[in-house]
Chain A
Amino acid sequence: MSLFALLIGVPLIAAFLVFCLRGNGARNAIVPLASAVTMGLSVAAALKFFGHPEFFKLAAPELPMVIMALDIIAAVVILYYTLVRFKRPWIALLELVQLGAVFWFEKTVGHSIDIAANIAIDNFAMIMVLIVGIIGSLIAVFSLGYMEEFQKEHRDVEDRRPFFFFVIFLFLSAMFGLVISNNLLLMYTCWEITSLCSFLLIGYTQTEEAINNSFKALWMNLLGGLAFAIAIVWLGLEYSTVELSMLVNLGRSSEPVELAVALLVFCGFTKAAMMPFSGWLLGAMVAPTPTSALLHSSTMVKAGVFLIIKLCPILGSNHAGLMTMFVGGATFLFASCAAISQSDGKKVLAYSTISNLGLIVCCAGIGSYEAAWTAIMIIVFHAVAKSLMFLSVGTAEQQLESRNIENFDGMFCSMPRLSLCMIIGICGMFLAPFGMLISKWAAMKAFVDAGHPLLLLVLVFGSSTTLFYWTKWLGKITAFIPAKENLEEGIHGVQWIALRVLSALTIITCILFPGISQYGVIPYLEVTYQTNMDVIARSNLLIMSMMVILLVVLPLRFGKGRKQKQVVTNLAGENSGDNLSYRGAAGQTIPVTLRNWYMEKWFGEAKMKLCGFILCGSCLLIEFAIILGGAFHV
């Protein structure tokens, strides 16, 4: 148990240290140290608890007081921003209502409820701890170099780095608290802190756009928080419990807890940026890249899907389950379509995150053993590959002063090492035999076995559109344009460390995923579902990881073989010799510019968003109407 106290405490101490010792030198020392310790602790925790799920009562009488105090501090900060600093009173209202609800609940009913376990540690929580601990810490290390460069480039942005790192470490600490808590009140507190942190991080630059987007993130997440608070109150009043495991048990014994489940799932939707709440994640792009990397890969959105997957066993063919799978499925399809029409690198990544989260949520909604396996596997692969992608795009942005994919032309030659990281990231995101594809495979099986033809359709079309936008991007960076100079000089050392470790992690998770499945995911599912089966035959898993090894070995042959005579590209005989321009009809030299296809007419962002919002919104409304009708049926 002390291990977890350390896990939450170390980032918290680091947060306060970087905030108080404002010097660059102190920060440069504290951040890597704290990150390394956090990483080590998370690995230690994983080693200790993998395969030994445990519940802790944590019999501290002051715990409710601490929770309340944290709730109030978070609320005060939010109220300060919404009422004093910026005038957004109705967001303050959202916060006040939920705070009031929780406060009232704690005063009247809460203290009389006997809590069997405040902390639940299982393999899934451990996987999340590993993701947050390793990837989150790497991102913190990366930010050290990135933010230094960022402040140099953006002289007009006030240097608030102590504050930035304070929030980042606070975020990690809250995430650790979130994934191990079984007490919903405790989880709610961590939940609110992550919402608050993301709000603070998104608004870092304090520009008009950043402030607007940060408030968008805040109100959407507070709406989720409100649903969370209502779920707690309802659950406490009806069944006098505030434990997640109890809720799952109640659901299993077919008690009518659908309303609480649906509210919690809804809360997960807002955090995981399901349509129609996808707006805040796209808006988060205004923040410095490490923020996006943190929000998209290891924290924030993963908290949303974490909660939904925890509820997985009691979703399925009930209305909460139907809502989950259809909102997830529609988000998966429309977000991946919308990504086709985007040329802004970070926006493509954002849509790809949303669509992957959609797939995870959809799987969780199906609720079967194989679907849950798939959902957890996607979380792992997505976290690793997506953080790598974000960090490489952020680095490329600093070097090229643009994050438009069209400007990544010739990266293969001008930034060979960075483009290699990016290629590994992209391959990890969609290509066979990398992990993501395994997950899609399992998803397909799960969808067929669950008997939802519509979801199958969503999956096959969604995966083909995914293929399109990733390959397009891959093509852009592999285009071979001999570079005049190497642009990798300015990249900070710590940035390389993070990028290299993540690249290695991506490959390692892809090679070792049979092991991850065997020792990580399956034991958790065995406990949760009381059965044991191989989702994908073990021989096939081995074949896939062999193919990854092949893919790693294959590039060693790169550039070997018979000597080839170099000729210019075919520009109908008018190539002016450097492949970059041709002679026009009047003898002038015209540069060759190549642009990708975006198919705006087919996959325009506005169109896709409209379809997605209408579908998901109406699905939410209808299902909630049915569930409410059922819950308050007299």
Chain B
Amino acid sequence: MSEMVLNIISGIAYLILAPVIGGLLAGLDRKISARMQRRVGPPVLQPFYDFFKLWDKQPIAVNEAQRFYVFGFLLFVIISGLFFFTHGDILLVVFTLTMASVCFIVAAYSSNSPYSQVGAERELVQTMAYEPMLLLMALGFYLKCGSFSIDTILKAPSMNFIYMPGIFIGLSFILLIKFRKSPFDLSMSHEVHQELIRGVITEISGRTLAMIELAHWYENVFLLGFVYLFFAWSAPWSPALAVLMCLFTYFSDVLVDNCCSRVKWEQMLSSTWLVTLVAGFVNIMFLMYMR
């Protein structure tokens, strides 16, 4: 019973804290990127300023439908995060996340604007590129821990990373896509705002845009949760290590972001699938053999 209470508490904590942590991470990201470019950079709280400003702007839209889809995006991201933090089923998390990204893509399509449409197509290619790796990751945990349940995965007797380094490499690779970092920030870039005039979200503004920012904060937090799963096991001190590894992953992605230029979609698709095949699949074969 107490476990259930704990799960509910962690779910509520996610609802409240995830935007704060996600926003702070985004702010740190901007600050660190600026320092890497020898700039002062914006305040760490800048993403929150942006968010509240957008929230107060005059509502404008190209049609009535778009806001609805964006709302669906936010809702499903939050739901899939909730499944994660209430220790639900990891496949359910991945599937709900897919649902959210379909909402996001349809929001872009619905505007019938060229920039949005190109953004949507690119976003779709990105989704197609990262989806296999996410599923393989879930399968990897199933093979290692014998269950898709995050509860069981967290109580693993040994560090998951040791058995699935290939899958971790694959995951870090696709996290570049999910965090919208160069070289894979084709559909909408967080930094260089000129690419396709932000592609997917070209036609979205004001409060609707703020909702998308919020959804991305939520999303980023539980994507880092996936990284957490690799380094957390039954040892009492492992959560500290896992959180450190999450931060390390996030900031190494920031580093990559600042070192790389954007690639074409073909290169993104082929490199991601190649990594999925080589690192992910070989690891899966190993886990199957171990079983």
Is there direct touching of A and B in the complex, by C-beta distance under 8 Å? yes
List, in ascending order, chain B residues with CB within 8 A of A445's CB: 142, 148
Does chain A have a CB within 8 A of B10?
no
List, in ascending order, chain B residues with CB within 8 A of A465's CB: 128
- Contact B203 A558, beta carbon cutoff 8 Å: no
Interface residues on chain B, size class = 35 or more
List, in ascending order, chain B residues with CB within 8 A of A569's CB: 62, 111-113, 116, 203
Does chain B have a CB within 8 A of A476?
yes
List, in ascending order, chain A residues with CB within 8 A of B98's CB: 431-432, 467
List, in ascending order, chain B residues with CB within 8 A of A474's CB: 102, 106, 109
Q: What is the CA–CA distance of A561 and B65 in the complex, to the nearest angstrom?
A: 12
Q: What is the CA–CA distance of A235 and B259 in the complex, to the nearest angstrom?
A: 68
Does chain B have a CB within 8 A of A527?
no
Does chain B have a CB within 8 A of A530?
no
Q: What is the CA–CA distance of A547 and B82 in the complex, to the nearest angstrom?
A: 13
B197, closest chain A residue (CB):
A570
A340, closest chain B residue (CB):
B128
Which of B61, B112, B116 is the most central at the interface, judged by chain A CB atoms within 10 Å of its CB?
B112
Does chain A have a CB within 8 A of B243?
no
Does chain B have a CB within 8 A of A587?
no
- Which residue of B68, B108, B121 is within 8 Å of A557 (Cβ)? B68
- Which residue of B61, B65, B109, B135 is within 8 Å of A460 (Cβ)? B135
List, in ascending order, chain A residues with CB within 8 A of B66's CB: 480
- Contact B67 A564, beta carbon cutoff 8 Å: yes
Distance (whole angstroms) from the CB of B103 to the closest CB of chain A: 10
Mask of B48-74 contacts with A, CB within 8 angstroms, 1/0? 000000000011111111111101100
List, in ascending order, chain A residues with CB within 8 A of B59's CB: 562-565
Distance (whole angstroms) from the CB of B145 to the closest CB of chain A: 12
Does chain B have a CB within 8 A of A456?
yes
If A467-B127, A468-B124 touch, does A571 touch B114 (CB 8 Å cutoff)?
yes
Q: What is the CA–CA distance of A561 and B109 in the complex, to the nearest angstrom?
A: 21
Does chain A have a CB within 8 A of B136?
yes
Mask of B109-130 contacts with A, CB within 8 angstroms, 1/0? 1111111110011001101110
Does chain A have a CB within 8 A of B241?
no
Does chain B have a CB within 8 A of A90?
no
Does chain B have a CB within 8 A of A81?
no
List, in ascending order, chain B residues with CB within 8 A of A479's CB: 109-112, 117
Distance (whole angstroms) from the CB of A281 to the closest CB of chain B: 25
List, in ascending order, chain B residues with CB within 8 A of A559's CB: 64-65, 68
B149, closest chain A residue (CB):
A537
Does chain B have a CB within 8 A of A538?
no
- Which residue of A448, A554, A555, A571 is within 8 Å of B142 (Cβ)? A448
Which of B69, B79, B99, B203 is the most central at the interface, judged by chain A CB atoms within 10 Å of its CB?
B99
Does chain A have a CB within 8 A of B284?
yes
- Contact A471 B124, beta carbon cutoff 8 Å: yes
- Which residue of A432, A471, A597 is within 8 Å of B105 (Cβ)? A471
List, in ascending order, chain B residues with CB within 8 A of A453's CB: 281, 284-285, 288
Does chain A have a CB within 8 A of B139?
yes
- Contact B281 A478, beta carbon cutoff 8 Å: no
List, in ascending order, chain B residues with CB within 8 A of A459's CB: 135
List, in ascending order, chain A residues with CB within 8 A of B135's CB: 444, 459-460, 463-464
- Contact A475 B105, beta carbon cutoff 8 Å: yes
Distance (whole angstroms) from the CB of A338 to the closest CB of chain B: 15
Does chain B have a CB within 8 A of A594?
yes
Does chain A have a CB within 8 A of B246?
no
Q: What is the CA–CA distance of A579 and B117 in the complex, to the nearest angstrom?
A: 13
Q: What is the CA–CA distance of A284 and B71 in the complex, to the nearest angstrom?
A: 41
- Contact B131 A475, beta carbon cutoff 8 Å: no
Mask of A433-460 contacts with B, CB within 8 angstroms, 1/0? 1000100010011001001010011011
Q: What is the CA–CA distance of A492 and B89 in the complex, to the nearest angstrom?
A: 46
Which A590-605 residues sit within 8 Å CB-CB of chain B? Answer: 592, 594, 596-597, 602
- Which residue of A467, A481, A570 is within 8 Å of B202 (Cβ)? A570
- Contact B61 A567, beta carbon cutoff 8 Å: yes
Does chain A have a CB within 8 A of B95?
yes
List, in ascending order, chain B residues with CB within 8 A of A476's CB: 109
Q: What is the CA–CA distance of A461 and B88 in the complex, to the nearest angstrom?
A: 24
List, in ascending order, chain B residues with CB within 8 A of A431's CB: 98-99, 102
Does chain A have a CB within 8 A of B39?
no
Distance (whole angstroms) from the CB of A514 to the closest CB of chain B: 14
- Contact A579 B131, beta carbon cutoff 8 Å: no
Does chain A have a CB within 8 A of B143?
yes
List, in ascending order, chain B residues with CB within 8 A of A456's CB: 136, 139, 284
Distance (whole angstroms) from the CB of B98 to the closest CB of chain A: 6
Distance (whole angstroms) from the CB of A439 to the closest CB of chain B: 12
Does chain A have a CB within 8 A of B38?
no
List, in ascending order, chain B residues with CB within 8 A of A76's CB: none
Does chain A have a CB within 8 A of B96?
yes
- Contact A565 B113, beta carbon cutoff 8 Å: no
Does chain B have a CB within 8 A of A112?
no
List, in ascending order, chain B residues with CB within 8 A of A437's CB: 95
- Contact B114 A594, beta carbon cutoff 8 Å: yes
Distance (whole angstroms) from the CB of A356 to the closest CB of chain B: 17
If A558-B65, A559-B64 touch, does A444 touch B139 (CB 8 Å cutoff)?
yes
Does chain B have a CB within 8 A of A540?
yes
Does chain A have a CB within 8 A of B225?
no
- Contact A441 B95, beta carbon cutoff 8 Å: yes
- Contact B136 A460, beta carbon cutoff 8 Å: yes
If A554-B72, A565-B59 touch, does A478 touch B65 (CB 8 Å cutoff)?
yes
Distance (whole angstroms) from the CB of A267 to the closest CB of chain B: 32
List, in ascending order, chain B residues with CB within 8 A of A557's CB: 68, 71
- Contact B128 A467, beta carbon cutoff 8 Å: yes
Q: What is the CA–CA distance of A570 and B198 in the complex, to the nearest angstrom?
A: 11
Q: What is the CA–CA distance of A561 and B66 in the complex, to the nearest angstrom?
A: 12
Does chain A have a CB within 8 A of B183?
no
- Which residue of B72, B125, B127 is within 8 Å of A597 (Cβ)? B125
Mask of A247-261 contacts with B, CB within 8 angstroms, 1/0? 000000000000000
Does chain A have a CB within 8 A of B15?
no
Q: What is the CA–CA distance of A41 and B106 in the complex, to the nearest angstrom?
A: 41
Which 6 A-B pairs give the minimum distances between C-beta atoms? A475-B109, A464-B131, A569-B113, A432-B95, A480-B63, A460-B132
Subset of 21 A-B contacts with CB under 8 Å: A432-B95, A441-B91, A441-B95, A444-B138, A453-B281, A457-B284, A463-B131, A474-B106, A478-B69, A478-B110, A479-B110, A540-B89, A557-B68, A557-B71, A559-B65, A564-B61, A565-B59, A567-B61, A569-B62, A579-B113, A602-B266
| Residue positions of A touching B, CB distance < 8 A | 409-410, 412, 431-433, 437, 441, 444-445, 448, 451, 453, 456-457, 459-461, 463-465, 467-468, 471-472, 474-476, 478-481, 537, 540, 543-544, 547, 554-555, 557-559, 561-571, 579, 592, 594, 596-597, 602
Q: A451-B291, A468-B127 are in contact. List 9 more A-B contacts (CB 8 A).
A: A433-B95, A444-B139, A453-B285, A461-B132, A464-B132, A467-B102, A543-B83, A543-B88, A566-B61
